[in-house]
Every structure is written in C-alpha cells, then in structure tokens.
A and B are shown apart, each in its own frame.
Chain A
Amino acid sequence: MDPQMMVELGALTLVGGAALIAGVAEDLESDVGSQSNPNSQVQLAPQMGYLHRLYNKAISGEPASYPFYAAIGAATALSVLSVTGNNSLIGVFFALVAGAFVTALIHGVYATTSYMGRLASQSRFGQPIYMDVLRTHTPVLMAHGFVANFSVLLLTWVLIAQHLSPFPFVVLAFIWGIALGGVGSAVGDVHLGTDRYYQDRPYGSGVNAAHSGSVVRKAESGLRNSIDCAWFCSKFGGPLTGLGFGLVVYLHFWKEVVVKDWWSAVAGIIIVMIFVIMNTYLERYSRQRYGTYKEETEAE
C-alpha cells in the first residue's frame, strides 16, 4: 500500500473519532440546554399552563449556532498560532484548546442571556426563573459545547495539516459546524422530543399535535430538569448523532483517500446506493414490526 495513503487513512481514523465525539457532545449539549426543535415544546409549555424546571435557551437553530462557535474557535486558535507558530504539536493542541475555551465562554454568555430573556418574557404565564437551574445547567452545557467545538477544531486541523482540503481553517471549521448542527438537530432531537419530553404518552407513536406543550415535568425522583434529559438521551440519541456525524465526515474523505479521480465519484454513488438499499429494508422492517395505526375500513 502507498505509504502516503496509510498516513492519510490514519489521519482519517482520528478525524472520524473526533467527529464521533463531536456529535455525541453536541447532541447532549442541546439536550441540557434544550436548544433546538424540541425547545418549541418547552417554550410552549408555560403558555399551556405547564410550569417547568427545564432549561430554555434557543439562541438559534443548532446548524446556525455551531458554525459560528466553530468559526470563533478557529479564528482564536489561528491568532494564538500566529504568535506561537505551528511547529510543535503541543503548541497546536493548546491553541485548539484556547479556541474551544473562548467558544465555551461565548456560549455561556449567550445561554445565560437567552435563559433569562426567554423566561422573563414568560412571567405573564407565571413561569419563575429558577436561579439554581441557571447555576447548575450553564456550566454543564458549556462543558459539552467545549468538547464538541474542540473536536470540530481538531478534525479540521488534521484535515488541513494532511492537505485533505484546500479550504482555510476558519471556513472549513464553519462548514463542519453547519454539518454538525444539521446532524445533531435531525437525529438526536427526535429522541428528546418524541420520547423524553412525552414519556407519559404511549410509546410507538408520534406526538399528537393536540398534546403540544404538555411536556413531562416530574422526574424519577422530584421534579425533572434538563440534566435528567441528557442522562436519558446519552443512551441512544447522543451516540446515534455521533455515529451520524462520524459517518458523514469519514465516508466523505474515505472516498477521496482510498480511491482517486473519477473512481471517487463512483465510490460515492455506490455508498449512496448502499444507504438507499438499507433504508428500504429499514422501512419494510418498521412496517412489518409495528403494524398499522388504523384499519383499512377506518381509513376509507
């Protein structure tokens, strides 16, 4: 095997691993902070008369906020590197840590103002601002955001150091931030929104639109908070998000490293076909396993 390809495959493994960790951390951060699609239910709950102790920060959609965190982190890391130089590995590592640290601070500021602002606007519905929720949740979501952003910066740096992408550090981190937010909000949110927020409803059904806002507010012990939700989602939603983002990044570069030129386009089409076939089996399995919700005569 070509030695250059072996080095690139090793780098790709590191990139895939970093992407996996980024995906898991990103989804759990959005569960603790309740940022994303299911936050519509948390936002709606007080208006429907359901007061809760869940964190409520929708700074923006995940695919909008993560690219900006990544770009801020990348710009900070670059400015540190412009002073220290990028010759030593440990120097690069600490520059990436510094970048992720700055994003965590900015994330914390946004989260605090967003939580206070959103809940203050709901005072007319009697929703209190819980200072202990703010105090306990904000560092947790900042920490998860730190891990996610550090992983994105790391994978971007490895891709650039191995010349696997011609894009500059900040632009590439920005694009991977969008992809990370896209996967996080498309995959992990379903576990939080359909299952965890509506655990008192029968399993195996979409949430009836008539029940919107009636989120579960009692926990296994005491009142539920958003850290409980992250504990629950870390069992399936988080890992699956990580798998999704890891596969996106890994397969994207695998087809360019292992096969060259026009064959990489062919390899990409073959991978897409494999996913189409797997989706057919998944759809058929779900229909056979779960059955219908209504009888044929009822539907007519």
Chain B
Amino acid sequence: MFSLLLWVWIILGGILIGAGVHFIPVGGAPAAMSQATGVGTGTTMLAAASGLTGLIGAGTAYYTHPGDFAYTIVMGGVSAALMISVLAFIANVMYVYGAGVPLASAKVKYDPITKWRQDLYVSRGTEGHGSPMASFISGILGAFLAGVGGALVFFALAETYKAIPGFSATFGSYPAPYYISLAAAFAIGIFFLNCVMASYNIGGTIEGFHDPKFRRIPKSIAASLVVSAVGGLFALLISVMLPGGI
C-alpha cells in the first residue's frame, strides 16, 4: 500500500547511497597502471558492485524474516561491506605481489588512521597506488552506507508491492513471490540513479573521506534527495496504477 513513510525511506535510502559512493576509494582507469590510489574501476560500477551484493543480502534477509526492518537493512549493509573488504584486499595483494608497489596515498602526507608516512612511498609520476588503510576503512564505511541505502529502498518497495492483489503469488516451483522480484528490479534502478549522480559529483577518482573532493558531498545529498524523491514516487505509484491497485 502507498504510504508516505515508505516514500521517506526511499528518499533516505537514496541519500545514503549517494553519500556512500563518496566514501568508496575509486582509482578509475589510472589505478590499473598503479597511477592512482584506490580500487581500479569506475565510481558507479564499484559502488553498484558492492551495494547490489548488499541488496542480495537484504533480499534474503527480507525473505527469511518478512517485514523485519532492522534485520533487512543491517544485512544489506554488512553484505556490501563484506564484498568491498574482500575486493579491496585482493586488489591490494595484486598491487603488492603482482606490481611490486607499496600501498600509498598522494593526497595526504600521513594516513589519518595508521599515521604512517605516505608521500615517500609514492612512485615518480603517479598519484599513489593501492588502497592504504584510510581508503580501505573508508571503502568499508561507504559500502555499508550504500548497502543500507539499497536495503531501505528495497524494503520500502517490497512492503508497497506486497499489498497489490496477486503479487504474493509464486511462479511454478519457485518459492519467492512476485513482489520481491519487482522490488529488486526497481531498487536496482534507484541504486543506479543515485550512483550516477554521485559519480558526476566526484568527477573521476576519489581516495575516500580524507580526499579534498569529499567536501563536495552536500551537493550530492541535495541531488540524491531530488532524484530519489521523483524516482521513488514513480516506483511507488505503480502500486496505484496497476489493475486492482490501491
């Protein structure tokens, strides 16, 4: 059933996704040549890879504990954080043993967490390599936020679509009802909306919360608020527009 509270959850989820993307250390294409600190892939894609893995965790949690709000969002966050911690660690193993470079950041002189010196370990002509501790922790926090945001969106949509007549039915021997599938598909859409908004705001690479670009986050929050409000409204109104909708 359409509810204003569920719309608020979607907007809040969108803001968390947009904010979470800013925490995730993204090196982009230069990171593959060990020219930039962070994980070597695009902003949107890395956030989506971790956040949507969180969505799988949230979906399973919602399915095994129907309607349990806290469990769903916590499992979403933890699953996303787990994914990025494995990914960033294995990427760091590749930097250390495959490329033979130490993990270092070029944006700060001392790591804000370990207090280890950074600038001496940055090789000539590069902007750092790998994910040092500050970026690693920042990535885990960012993925947790993005996972929680994705789970909030999924929860709100699933609760809405559950009330549509016929959507609690299942297909053949497949046990999960229709509304979970529909909520997952729309949650992926709203996830990508917010990831792309945030990645335009970042513009290329970011090392985590210690990067000067991180200060751009208020703009992203405002953009996410608008985008999630409009996108969320359309996603929720489907429950009204479908035959038999409320």
Residues of A within 8 A of B (CB): 36-38, 40-41, 61-64, 86, 160, 163-168, 171-172, 174-175, 178-179, 181-183, 185-195, 197-198, 203-212, 236-237, 240-241, 243-244, 247-248, 251-252, 255-256, 261-262, 264-265, 268-269, 271-272, 275-276, 278-280, 282-283, 285-287, 290, 292-296, 299
Contact status B126-A279, CB under 8 Å? no
Contact status A182-B126, CB under 8 Å? no
Contact status A165-B56, CB under 8 Å? yes
Contact status A264-B114, CB under 8 Å? no
Q: How far is the CA of A251 from the CA of B180 in the complex (A)?
A: 23
Contact status B101-A294, CB under 8 Å? no
Closest CB in chain A relative to B137 CB, distance in Å: 7
Minimum CB distance partner of A255 in chain B = B82
Q: Does B246 touch A at the CB level, under 8 Å? A: no
Contact status A279-B136, CB under 8 Å? yes
Contact status A206-B126, CB under 8 Å? yes
Chain B residue numbers with a CB within 8 Å of A212 are 33
Chain A residue numbers with a CB within 8 Å of B174 are 160, 168
Contact status A194-B119, CB under 8 Å? no
Q: How far is the CA of A256 from the CA of B82 in the complex (A)?
A: 12
Q: Does B92 touch A at the CB level, under 8 Å? A: yes
Q: How far is the CA of A61 from the CA of B100 in the complex (A)?
A: 25
* Given known contacts A164-B60, A190-B94, A240-B94, A208 and B126 CB-to-CB distance under 8 angstroms: yes
Closest CB in chain A relative to B57 CB, distance in Å: 7
Contact status B123-A272, CB under 8 Å? no
Q: Does B122 touch A at the CB level, under 8 Å? A: yes
Contact status A166-B98, CB under 8 Å? no
Q: How far is the CA of A209 from the CA of B34 in the complex (A)?
A: 10
Residues of B within 8 A of A (CB): 28-35, 39-42, 45-46, 48-50, 52-53, 55-57, 59-60, 62-63, 65, 71, 74-75, 78-79, 81-83, 85-103, 114, 116, 119-126, 128-133, 136-137, 140, 173-176, 180-181, 184-185, 188
Closest CB in chain A relative to B218 CB, distance in Å: 27
Contact status A181-B133, CB under 8 Å? no
Minimum CB distance partner of B124 in chain A = A208
Contact status A182-B28, CB under 8 Å? no
* Given known contacts A63-B49, A240-B98, A40 and B78 CB-to-CB distance under 8 angstroms: no
Q: How far is the CA of A198 from the CA of B40 in the complex (A)?
A: 17
**7 A–B contacts, CB within 8 A, in A order:** A38-B29, A168-B181, A171-B188, A190-B31, A190-B94, A194-B98, A244-B86
Minimum CB distance partner of B42 in chain A = A61
Find A276's partner among B33, B96, B140 (CB 8 Å cutoff).
B140
Contact status B98-A190, CB under 8 Å? yes
Minimum CB distance partner of B65 in chain A = A261
Contact status A211-B125, CB under 8 Å? yes
Chain A residue numbers with a CB within 8 Å of B124 are 205, 208, 293
Lowest 9 A-B CB distances belong to which pairs? A208-B125, A182-B49, A206-B34, A37-B32, A166-B176, A193-B32, A204-B100, A63-B45, A206-B126
